[in-house]
Amino acid sequence: MQPKTIIEKIWDTHAVMSEKGKPNLMFIDLHMVHEVTSPQAFEGLRLAGRKVRRPDLTFATMDHNVPTQNRMSITDSIAKKQMETLANNCEEFGIDIADLNSPNNGIVHIIGPQMGLTQPGKTIVCGDSHTSTHGAFGALAFGIGTSEVEHVLATQTIWQSKPKTMEVRVNGRLNPGATAKDIILSIIAKHGVDFGTGHVLEFTGEAIRGLTMEERMTICNMSIEAGAKAGLISPDQVTIDYLKGREKVPDGEAFEKLAQEWRDTASDEGAVYDAVVEMDSEEIEPMVTWGTNPSQGIGIHKQIPDPANAESDHDRRAIQQSLDYMDLKPGMKMTEVEIQHVFIGSCTNSRISDLRAAAKIAEGRKVADGVRALVVPGSQAVKMQAESEGLDKVFLEAGFEWRESGCSMCLSMNPDFVPEGERCASTSNRNFEGRQGKGARTHLVSPAMAAAAAVAGRFVDIRDLKKPSLQ
């Protein structure tokens, strides 16, 4: 048999209808729903007198609007209405929901994996672009818009044109200090914000195989920032071990059978991709973005680029536009840039290993004067786990704020935001203009780099942190 990629395998087993030259009708195994992109979809169903076809394959949570302090007394009446609307819709249509009282509550892309809903070989959609996170398990997972949410609710299917496949191979082993976040920021910095357009990326190579599931999620999470439809990683023993014993994963013989199916989903040796890009781990350093899209990132010791040296007119304009917004000058070093805020959280980097990495830096140090640093766990379960390990105390003693879970300052729809003109070192995935607040300036970094920036008051190389001047 012709060797196949995991992408083709999942595609072929999920096509309900495939007519040549037309989009295929794809069956969806898991549909995750949250409060922001669903109300208009449920409204549409109601208006047309339609039902949810498979409530059993649908799961809802509240995350985007949730306050991270006093989460039960929501003062923003519109946010409150949106959450109540979701709860009512779930009740009306018979959908399970992890509401604010549920121990499973958290960011949609954190709780799917955590509960074991996310599994290899599944097709997964959610009205949120970072659905690609679930690809870390070898699932074909992508974000959809509200019309598509309504379509999936009504039919459990979606029309999709077969995407092209792209292998993103990360060779070699990571340098000390470099993390999964630095891998993906480096790939995007090297190949641009749209190199993945029209493709599903499969991350392969020694560096990827060596990552834990949580690190793999960070990588797949940001596939969308490369313009890709989705990003995934073929399942292996690491995937299987992670899923074993999780709430929604069967045990005993059923598990063994499932695990074998999962192994079979992995890309075959010799499978051919439509495109291949490569990255050498040696090139990867701790990264910081200086601009207003995730490809505008550089190694911590590099200089901010000069638009005059840009290759095309289009690049020159993009660089200038970003520098103006970020109030930075060409030639500056990132280590000269001072910050006023730090955000450790979001579906990119708010899992327990992220918090541990940040806590390791925070331990025994103090947040610099004039810096506000927030730690926002990705889910209530992550929060409880961190507290059982005493990480909350480490953060609090160092002067960080320890919050309840949610999306928080990743997109600042809740009360957490960065004031105009101020700078934030953030572990989230988007440094777009205004993302963290009107006029806010966002720099994307790994959790350890964010914690280091908090204690230094500016960007520093975590590898230099042992130097006494920074202690």
Partner 1 sequence: MEPIIVHEGNTAVLPRVNVDTDQIIPKQFLKRVERTGFGQFLFFDWRFLADGTPDPSFELNKPEAEEASVLLADHNFGCGSSREHAPWALQDYGFRVIIAPSFADIFYNNCFKNGILTIRLPEKQVYELMDNGKEEYYKLKVDLEHQTIQDSKGFEAGFEIDPYWKEMLLKGWDEISLTLQYADHIDAYEKQRGI
Q: Which does 433 bind (CB under 5 to 8 A by kind): partner 1, ligand SF4, none?
A: partner 1
| Nearer Cβ to ligand SF4 (108/170) | 108
Name which of partner 1, ligand SF4, none residue 347 binds, using a CB cut-off of 5 to 8 Å depending on partner kind.
ligand SF4
Q: Give residues in contact with partner 1 (CB under 8 A).
A: 16-17, 21-23, 25, 27, 29, 36-37, 39-40, 43-44, 48, 50, 53, 57, 65, 76, 78-79, 81-82, 85, 127-129, 143-148, 150-151, 154-157, 159, 161, 193-194, 197-198, 227, 229, 293, 314, 317-318, 321, 411-413, 430, 432-435, 438
> Pick from partner 1, ligand SF4, none: which does 438 bind, CB < 5 to 8 A by kind?
partner 1
Q: The tokens 């000069």 sit on which residue?
A: 306
- Number of Cβ within a 10 Å radius of residue 195: 19
Residues in 383-402 that interact with ligand SF4 by CB under 6 A: none
- Nearest alpha carbon to residue 42 among 51, 55, 54: 51
- Which of 97, 328, 347, 454 is the binder for ligand SF4 (CB under 6 A)? 347
CA distance linking residue 88 with residue 98, whole number of Å:
13
Judged by beta carbon, residue 61 or residue 265, the one nearer ligand SF4 is: 61
Q: Is 90 annotated as a binding residue?
A: no
Residue 407 contacts ligand SF4 per CB under 6 A: yes
* Two structure tokens written together for 100: 């604010």
224 binds ligand SF4 (CB under 6 A): no
Between 58 and 267, name the residue whose CB sits nearer to ligand SF4.
Answer: 58
Among ligand SF4, partner 1, none, residue 267 binds (CB under 5-8 Å by kind): none
Interface with ligand SF4 (CB under 6 A), residue from 107, 224, 375, 394? 107
407 a known binding residue?
yes
Q: Residues near 50 by Cβ (< 8 Å), separated by ≥ 6?
A: 153, 154
- Tell me if 288 sits within 8 A of 444, measured CB to CB: yes
Residue 102 CB, nearest distance to ligand SF4 (Å)?
Answer: 17
Is 43 buried (19+), middle (13-18) or exposed (0-12) by CB count in 10 A?
middle
d(CA 64, CA 410): 9
Cα–Cα dist 40/62, whole Å: 16
Minimum distance of partner 1 from residue 16's CB (angstroms): 4
Report in angstroms how near the CB of residue 442 gets to partner 1 at its nearest: 11
Q: Which does residue 193 bind out of partner 1, ligand SF4, none, counting CB within 5 to 8 angstroms by kind?
A: partner 1
**Residue 404 within binding range of ligand SF4, rule CB under 6 A:** no
Which of 423/430 has CB closer to ligand SF4?
430
d(CA 192, CA 11): 27
Stretch near ligand SF4 under the rule CB under 6 A, chosen from 24-32, 105-113, 177-185, 454-462: 105-113
b/e sequence 47-72, b meaning 16+ C-beta within 10 Å: eeeeebbbbebbbbbbbbbbbbeebe
CA 134 to chain CA mean position, Å: 9
Answer with the entry of partner 1, ligand SF4, none that 410 interacts with (C-beta below 5 to 8 A by kind): ligand SF4
Is 220 flagged in the annotation as binding? Answer: no
Binding partner of 145, given partner 1, ligand SF4, none, CB within 5-8 angstroms per partner class: partner 1
Q: Considering the complex, what minimum distance in angstroms separates the CB of residue 367 from partner 1?
A: 27
Give the span between the Cα atoms of 442 and 116, in whole angstroms: 32
Give the footprint of ligand SF4 on residues 128-147 (CB under 6 A): 128, 130
Q: Is 253 left (phi over 0), alpha (psi -120 to 50) or beta?
A: alpha
Which of ligand SF4, partner 1, none does residue 447 bind (CB under 5 to 8 Å by kind)?
A: none
Burial 229-262 (b: 16+ CB within 10 A, else e): bbbbbbbeebbbebbeebeebeeeeeeeebbeeb
We find the least distance from the C-beta atom of residue 394 to ligand SF4, in angstroms, to be 23
Instruction: Count the residues of the shown chain that bind ligand SF4, applying the rule CB under 6 A.
Output: 14
* 429 binding ligand SF4? (CB under 6 A): yes
What does the binding site for ligand SF4 look like in residue numbers (CB under 6 A)?
63-64, 107-109, 128, 130, 346-347, 407, 410-411, 428-429
